Structure 1
Amino acid sequence: MTQPGIYDRDLDKGDANYVPLSPVGFLKRAATVFPNRTAVIHGDLRYTYAQFYERVRRFASALKARGIGKGDTVSVLSPNIPALLEAHYAVPMLGAVLNALNTRLDAPTIAFILEHGESKAVLSECSLNGVMGEALAQTKNRPGIVIDIVDPVEPDGPRVGTTDYETMLRDEGDPTFVHSLPPDEWDALALNYTSGTTGNPKGVVYHHRGAYLNAMSNALTFGVNNRSVYLWTLPMFHCNGWTYTWAVTAACGTHVCLRRVDPALIFPMIRDYGVTHMCGAPIVLTMLIHAPADQKVEFSQRVEVCTGGAAPPSAVIAKMEGMGFNVTHMYGMTECYGPSTVCEWQPDWDAMDLSERAPLMARQGVAMVALEEQRVADPETLIDVPRDGETIGMLMLKSNTVMRGYLKNPDATRDALGTGWLNTGDLAVMHEDGYVEIKDRAKDIIISGGENISSLEVEEVLFKHPDIMEAAVVAAPDEKWGETPCAFVTMAPGREGTVDAAQVIAYCKENMARFKAPTKVVFGPLPKTATGKIQKFVLRSRAKEL
């Protein structure tokens, strides 16, 4: 029998030397260290960290008095306003699970989520109560608690609840409520549903440990500190705001709420509030670039912008830099709490001009601090591809910041995590310097005459065209080549009709290998999911009919 080593005797884990990791504790610390610092700005409202913490404790105690406890799901349908931010602390304080609902979903999908997640309580902001009312009417097991959120900035809208949020805080909340951290950091913290392209969305389960670590990693990687002012251009429902709901508080920065992404609001807010950080999908950057000139208010500070999704084309990077923004490219997915890799800036890039560094900046990069390991490998053999920047494999991740799994879906969980790695479904190459570059989703690669064509590579060229605002490329059937690229493009405002399909194709042939150029071009708006991702499955269906 093996005897215990010297470090296994009398050196036990106990209350004094082990505390479960949870982002809930960030708020208590911020309220203790900076009680009078502005924590939240929303219109004319200002909450200090002391007030923020008091409101959260009122919220948590009111939910507890109504019977909400460990493992209960609390769903919130709301724009980026204080109530949703407060829910990120109040709900997990009780050991309950926060389900932040996508505000762009339709009633049947919301009804499915409420049923599948077994929601015990629903909070819904009045402007969204039309769709919530329909969803509640379609549920077989209606949640027992329904609360209206009446936003003083825009209070109009129907009521579906038995009371409203502010009344509940005032009349039912205890400002001295004592809460504790979860007994197990593996406990469920949040339930986020993937937007999906076909079928019902999958419920991704986060735990306290992963949220804590990813929030800390984000704050460190993005340079958020106690002087930072973070503008909520990213939906808080999306991966819990990429965990910045907790990261900004951990750094004791200031949250600036924003109900809707509108350049006419964003530019003045950057100037008036001294915004230093913001995040968003590439479409947000595109909206800012193409905003009317009279909306582009000047500001003195440089603003750090983190973007995810498809790599920002070099033309987008150049235009954002010209307007006073520094763009950082990150990569992630719902299954890994949002950002997990970052295109970390290297000192020698400083001396490069944009044409040299843009391709480097557009890579997905290296693992963030909390991500244990990333690799590009054959998904069957798990053998790493060479670091040659050419051999394509599957991007795989391993980390404490990977989801617990999919709720009530063991088969999908096994498919995603069964190899001991998170299979991202993204095809990538590994460069010599250890930076990953995604070439395409596995389902989006175009195979033309036996040659692999990356849709992202074609899109990069299209984005450089001065008149094109958005582009998406998919495979179209071809009798000779099997399939060829088909481009769907949206022209910049006021530039509609300035070029035709032949001119776009010719432009691509001049700027890339001719065989990779699209053979068809379709003009018009692009279909998007509820999280703003382009629905390429819709475009593939359209391409088959051309």
Structure 2
Amino acid sequence: MFDDPHLAPRAANFRPLTPIDFLTRSLEQHPDRPAVAWREHRWSYAEFGAIVARMAGWLRDQGIGPGDVVSVMLSNRPEMLAAHFAAPAIGAVLNTLNTRLAPDDLHYIVTHAGARIVLCEPGAAGALDGSGIAGAELCREPGAGEGLDFFSGPVPPLDIRMPASETQAIALNYTSGTTGRPKGVVLTHRGATMNALGNVLALGLTRISSYLWTLPMFHCNGWCHTWAVTAAGGMHVCLDKVEPAPILDLIARHEVSHMCCAPVVLYMILDHGGPAAAHPVLVVTGGAAPTPTLLEGMEARGFELIHAYGMTECYGPSTFNDPGPAAPGSVEERAAGLSRQGLRHLTVGGVRVVGEDGRDVPADGESIGEITMSGNTVMAGYYRDPEASEAVFSGGALHSGDLAVMHADGQIEIRDRMKDVIISGGENISSLEVETVLHRHPEVLLAAVVAAPDPKWGETPCAFVEIRSGSALDATGLEAFCKEHLTGFKRPRRFVFGVLPRTATGKIQKFALRQRARDEASS
């Protein structure tokens, strides 16, 4: 009886979901509230809306229209934020580029994406030479008199082109390319809306929130916080470069309440010293689990940590481990609890840990399986790559490639990436387990463990270690530490000290370390 034609969706009761609505509502609801702070400048929502309108108008004047790809290679500056609304407002698809891409990868991405134009930093257009794609450089500062200046001038009508379907593409994000050529992840208006709203609820964002952009906006659209903070009507605090002194300065100056970053940024803040924050700051971090040293140090400075897990293919974070500000137990116990990746947030359809037979592994904290995800916050697929799309969606869910256990309380805990498991003498060794032990050493800043070829065992663990400033830690000290915490076959046979190669988002480039381990083993 509920299938009657008169009950079908119609214009009066259906509107495609899109994050563009977040901006239009904020413009209506609180046009005078602070929206964006950058350097010594501050813009209200009405003024930020004007920046978006100027950018959208300029893109139209360049002949950009529905379905065209607009690439943006910018740091965390206001125009990068504005592009998240200006491009989709005219029906275009936003492609945010890692500012640290090598020319070869940059040219591959803009060509593969079919970008019509690239907005970039002053002096950066030369990186596109040879790609066949035009680069348009922005101004150094509002009113600088050179480059594109969207901060002033006539304000054209925003004239938003709403998507005909909420499953239309809003963004094309490329994976970090740590295992080969980057893949183009197609995200939709619906998925971006849902994940952004999930983040608003998970982080408790409100109109009085002040969000510091320590996470690159080019990374999964800033985990969808570009749209989430705007939906809440909070203030975006833009940061040119991730360094501890300006981070702490902006936290104090703008009463920052929220930020997201990789653990390496937190270690930078911890090593920097200085006074504690005058007010609590909620930090969402991903990647390596916070160690007791990091947790204790950051809590003493007024930071509350949440551990998240996600993928580019899932719009950023899909699960959150939020122990709350008054979690019981010792710092070691709390760090152990925070090492888990937590539970799905509200708008994620499902997160499972499955065995090779596709069935859920027992929730015993020991049985290992692969994390799979499903629901509205999963990508549409890989751009121009139907084979990879079919493979990653096999069995009716997105396969992450991450190995994990499921605990009795429903929390997942990652044990390793499938490709990072080390097989030594027939025994499986979790590189993540060894890395976790190394990170417990108070003088270790970062550690990455990869397989090194071995004539007897096939493979053995090789540890690449970045130590904290001023430390005199050496291989002998680390070997003794590992003997206290790891069984013999799991201990690294070699320690290599130095700065670890990583992406702009803090991910360690293990493919480079694997190659180095192979090269050194054969020399």
TM-score by length of 1: 0.91
Q: Give 1:479 shift.
A: 3.9
Equivalent-residue separation in structure 1 for 2:447 and 2:176 (angstroms): 20
Q: 1:218 to 1:59 in 2, by over 3 A?
A: same
1:363 to 340, 344, 347: 340
Equivalent-residue separation in structure 2 for 1:80 and 1:6 (angstroms): 49
What does the per-residue CA deviation read over 1:87-123, in whole Å, with 9 as the maximum and x for residues that have no partner? Answer: 0001000110011111011222212112111111221
2:403 to 416, 427, 445: 427
Question: Where does residue 22 of structure 1 map in the other structure?
Answer: 18
Question: Where does residue 165 of structure 1 map in the other structure?
Answer: 148
Contact 1:219 1:248 in 2 (8 A): yes
Aligned pairs for 1:455-466 within 5 A = 455-466=431-442
Given the alignment of the two structures, is residue 243 of structure 1 paired with residue 224 of structure 2, yes or no? yes
2:131 to 116, 139, 145: 139
Contact 2:122 2:147 in 1 (8 A): no
Contact 1:39 1:253 in 2 (8 A): yes
Aligned pairs for 1:486-505 within 5 A = 486-495=462-471, 498-505=472-479
Question: Where does residue 429 of structure 2 map in the other structure?
Answer: 453
Question: Where does residue 176 of structure 2 map in the other structure?
Answer: 195
Q: 1:264 to 1:475 in 2, by over 3 A?
A: same
Q: Give 1:66 shift.
A: 2.5
Aligned pairs for 1:80-119 within 5 A = 80-119=76-115
Question: Where does residue 321 of structure 1 map in the other structure?
Answer: 299
Aligned pairs for 1:131-530 within 5 A = 132-135=125-128, 137-140=129-132, 142-143=133-134, 146-152=135-141, 164-166=147-149, 170=153, 173-174=155-156, 176-291=157-272, 293=273, 296-345=274-323, 350-378=327-355, 380-495=356-471, 498-530=472-504
Equivalent-residue separation in structure 2 for 1:520 and 1:63 (angstroms): 54
Unmatched tracts of structure 1, length 5 or more: 157-162
Aligned pairs for 1:7-86 within 5 A = 7-86=3-82
Q: 1:487 to 1:199 in 2, by over 3 A?
A: closer
Contact 2:38 2:78 in 1 (8 A): yes
Match of 2:126, as an amino acid? G
Contact 1:25 1:181 in 2 (8 A): no
Q: 1:474 to 1:24 in 2, by over 3 A?
A: same
Q: 1:69 to 1:445 in 2, by over 3 A?
A: same
- Report the 3-state secondary structure (helix = DSSP H, G, I; strand = E; otherwise coil) of the residue aligned with 1:419: helix
Q: Give 1:230 shift.
A: 0.3
Equivalent-residue separation in structure 1 for 2:454 and 2:106 (angstroms): 39
What's the Cα RMSD here?
Answer: 2.0
Equivalent-residue separation in structure 2 for 1:478 and 1:118 (angstroms): 44
- Report the 3-state secondary structure (helix = DSSP H, G, I; strand = E; otherwise coil) of the residue aligned with 1:234: coil
Contact 1:309 1:331 in 2 (8 A): yes
- Report the 3-state secondary structure (helix = DSSP H, G, I; strand = E; otherwise coil) of the residue aligned with 2:173: strand
Q: Give 1:8 shift.
A: 3.0
Deviates more, 1:8-17 or 1:258-267: 8-17
Equivalent-residue separation in structure 1 for 2:329 and 2:411 (angstroms): 18
- Report the 3-state secondary structure (helix = DSSP H, G, I; strand = E; otherwise coil) of the residue aligned with 2:222: helix
Contact 1:62 1:169 in 2 (8 A): no
Equivalent-residue separation in structure 2 for 1:38 and 1:99 (angstroms): 27
Aligned residues with identical type, % of pairs: 48
Match of 2:333, as an amino acid? E
- Report the 3-state secondary structure (helix = DSSP H, G, I; strand = E; otherwise coil) of the residue aligned with 2:176: coil
Q: Give 1:543 shift.
A: 2.3
What does the per-residue CA deviation read over 1:443-475, in whole Å, with 9 as the maximum and x for residues that have no partner? Answer: 111223333222112111211212211111112
Contact 2:250 2:256 in 1 (8 A): yes
Contact 1:363 1:436 in 2 (8 A): yes
Match of 2:280, as an amino acid? R
Match of 2:492, as an amino acid? P
Equivalent-residue separation in structure 1 for 2:376 and 2:206 (angstroms): 23
Q: Give 1:33 shift.
A: 0.9
Equivalent-residue separation in structure 2 for 1:476 and 1:528 (angstroms): 19
Contact 2:258 2:282 in 1 (8 A): yes
Equivalent-residue separation in structure 1 for 2:137 and 2:275 (angstroms): 35
Match of 2:103, as an amino acid? A
Deviates more, 1:198-207 or 1:34-43: 198-207
Equivalent-residue separation in structure 1 for 2:513 and 2:136 (angstroms): 39
What does the per-residue CA deviation read over 1:237-262, in whole Å, with 9 as the maximum and x for residues that have no partner? Answer: 00000000000000000000001101
Q: 1:30 to 1:418 in 2, by over 3 A?
A: same
Deviates more, 1:54-63 or 1:266-275: 54-63
Q: Give 1:9 shift.
A: 4.0
Equivalent-residue separation in structure 1 for 2:363 and 2:151 (angstroms): 57
Contact 2:142 2:151 in 1 (8 A): no
- Report the 3-state secondary structure (helix = DSSP H, G, I; strand = E; otherwise coil) of the residue aligned with 1:10: helix
Q: 1:155 to 1:322 in 2, by over 3 A?
A: farther
What does the per-residue CA deviation read over 1:299-333, in whole Å, with 9 as the maximum and x for residues that have no partner? Answer: 31010000112222232222211211001000001
Q: Give 1:190 shift.
A: 0.5
Q: 1:154 to 1:6 in 2, by over 3 A?
A: closer
Contact 2:54 2:150 in 1 (8 A): no
Q: 1:124 to 1:309 in 2, by over 3 A?
A: same
Contact 1:215 1:246 in 2 (8 A): yes
Equivalent-residue separation in structure 1 for 2:142 and 2:53 (angstroms): 23
Equivalent-residue separation in structure 1 for 2:151 and 2:482 (angstroms): 59
Equivalent-residue separation in structure 2 for 1:138 and 1:399 (angstroms): 40
TM-score by length of 2: 0.95
Contact 2:17 2:166 in 1 (8 A): yes
Contact 1:267 1:297 in 2 (8 A): no
Q: Give 1:477 shift.
A: 2.8
Q: 1:154 to 1:33 in 2, by over 3 A?
A: closer
